[in-house]
Structure 1
């Protein structure tokens, strides 16, 4: 073997190991533990894409849906946070464990997408789902996801879709949520987007919808009995965008409210330490 090729192969392998080490740290480091998909409780897992039915290649003519394939991004941890005020832009916080782990890895090509579901109440909660780019699939390898990450808020609001399924839970929760449902989050709830040099965070304000707030309060009363799958994707609306693909999915299994990490609601620093990424936006909040 050519020494140069051997050196390149070794370098690539070392980079892959470093990324996996970083992902292992953040997957296993949150207050909400990573659990077995089928038997775990009070934790989270990664459901396979095939359990979600999305728009297939012929959807515009025949309305046919098909099981989704693998996610476009890898799971990179979940945070369950509690504070005395709503938590916005958690990736800009100096105490965010995922961003800190990514900085320590010194990997310049990893891109993060974070979904921050903001749960209102006397105590404010945030369920934050993190997804990271794959080592062999840069963000721009999927044109629709790339457009979503770098597009306008109007485009994002018209395309960000949640598909969910109540795997287990009281009948009243299943009736309120629906066993399987889908919605465009940006048209149902107020979503705020924070575009950093190597990430996009989506803050979803559940209090902005009276219906969603009521369903959530119902669900919070029995979270320890509920298992729910949530898949996130950019809705395909033209033939060349089909079939739809999840960019990430998470299963929350019988979560205890008391497992949340208490954090200071103080305004985080606006200075975000950059890690060069495949994205093209230069602003932290470009809209």
Structure 2
């Protein structure tokens, strides 16, 4: 056996072991939620990861030809879904000491000191007698740091005004009653940051986007319609930063999720009175510290 080849194989094996170890937290986060990961085509009462090709986004020549193309690969990896119920609106869930995804990541980082994982979470806040939150978690890829996409990097680090002018959702009803399809259409795109009140929480290794669906009467009405037949509804949602300049094209989804015929009763109850960690202001170098209440 050639020693050089053996050495390279050994190094490659070690690299794979480190990669797998660094990703263990994500498997834990995906499997630990009350809403389970299910099959993309046959699953129910759970979530799945729809391929980017199912979403049409602004292509390289959009501003001159108005052409949209299939989105392609996501910028981030899926890292789980939480379906939560509470006695009050849940804000800034990533700062809660009981947030299972951040706890899994922190435990991993204690083992892997070189980890540079970044989390983007979208928290859809559902109003009502009981308050619900559907929280979608996405994490940076090991071989693609968060600054590898300039537009996403700007979105994460710029002002709330910039974020609200760019935060976009594309959605598609895969299954659902005709009345819902008639009300919202089979496929739609919307600047969530302009249509609804969105609040942004920037931590040392995360950005959380809280979307207050109750801030729009139209959105609340559509939501009530959807929840009335939620066990019969399957919907795809893709999240992205809208490209508004030629050099920002083509658009890329940073994360997407398919919610499959969900049951309201599958939500985990969370006490809104549980204290959150205080996130100290970002320093000029972009680092923060956290401390418990």
Tell me if both proteins adopt one fold, taking TM over 0.5 as the criterion. yes
Q: Residue 165 of structure 1 contacts residue 228 of structure 1 at CA under 8 Å; is this kept in 2?
A: yes
Query: Cα distance, 1:270 vs. partner?
Result: 2.8
Please tell me whether residue 234 in structure 1 is matched to residue 241 in structure 2.
yes
Query: Cα distance, 1:6 vs. partner?
Result: 6.7
Q: 1:29 corresponds to which residue? A: 32
Q: 2:125 corresponds to which residue? A: 118
Structure 2 residue aligned with 1:89, among 89, 92, 102?
Answer: 92
TM-score (structure 2 length as normaliser):
0.91
Counterpart mapping for 1:180-199 below 5 A: 180-199=187-206
For residues 5 and 147 of structure 2, what CA distance do their matches in structure 1 show? 31
For residues 286 and 195 of structure 2, what CA distance do their matches in structure 1 show? 27
Structure 1 residue aligned with 2:43, among 28, 40, 43?
Answer: 40
Q: Root-mean-square deviation (CA), in Å?
A: 2.0
- Deviations 1:158-184, CA, capped at 9 Å, x for gaps: 001000000000011111121000000
After alignment, is 219-228 or 100-109 more displaced? 100-109
Q: Residue 194 of structure 1 contacts residue 284 of structure 1 at CA under 8 Å; is this kept in 2?
A: no
SS for the counterpart of 2:278 is coil
Q: 2:287 corresponds to which residue? A: 282
Change (3 A) 1:113 1:188: same
Please tell me whether residue 174 in structure 1 is matched to residue 181 in structure 2.
yes
Higher Cα Rg: structure 1 or 2? 2
Counterpart mapping for 1:134-149 below 5 A: 134-149=141-156
Q: Residue 195 of structure 1 contacts residue 283 of structure 1 at CA under 8 Å; is this kept in 2?
A: no
For residues 168 and 285 of structure 2, what CA distance do their matches in structure 1 show? 23
For residues 189 and 12 of structure 1, what CA distance do their matches in structure 2 show? 44
TM-score (structure 1 length as normaliser):
0.93
Counterpart mapping for 1:1-287 below 5 A: 1=4, 9-106=12-109, 107=112, 108-266=115-273, 268-271=275-278, 281-283=286-288
SS for the counterpart of 1:265 is coil
Gaps of 5+ in 2: none
- Deviations 1:214-270, CA, capped at 9 Å, x for gaps: 100111111100000000000011111000000000000000000000011015333
For residues 127 and 121 of structure 1, what CA distance do their matches in structure 2 show? 14
Query: Cα distance, 1:94 vs. partner?
Result: 0.6
Q: Residue 150 of structure 1 contacts residue 280 of structure 1 at CA under 8 Å; is this kept in 2?
A: no
Aligned length: 280
Query: Cα distance, 1:141 vs. partner?
Result: 0.4
- Deviations 1:112-151, CA, capped at 9 Å, x for gaps: 0000000000000000000000000000000000000001
- Deviations 1:22-51, CA, capped at 9 Å, x for gaps: 111111110001000000000000000001
For residues 48 and 16 of structure 1, what CA distance do their matches in structure 2 show? 23
Q: Residue 195 of structure 1 contacts residue 284 of structure 1 at CA under 8 Å; is this kept in 2?
A: no
For residues 183 and 203 of structure 1, what CA distance do their matches in structure 2 show? 16
Query: Cα distance, 1:283 vs. partner?
Result: 4.6
SS for the counterpart of 1:36 is coil
Gaps of 5+ in 1: 274-278
For residues 47 and 185 of structure 2, what CA distance do their matches in structure 1 show? 21
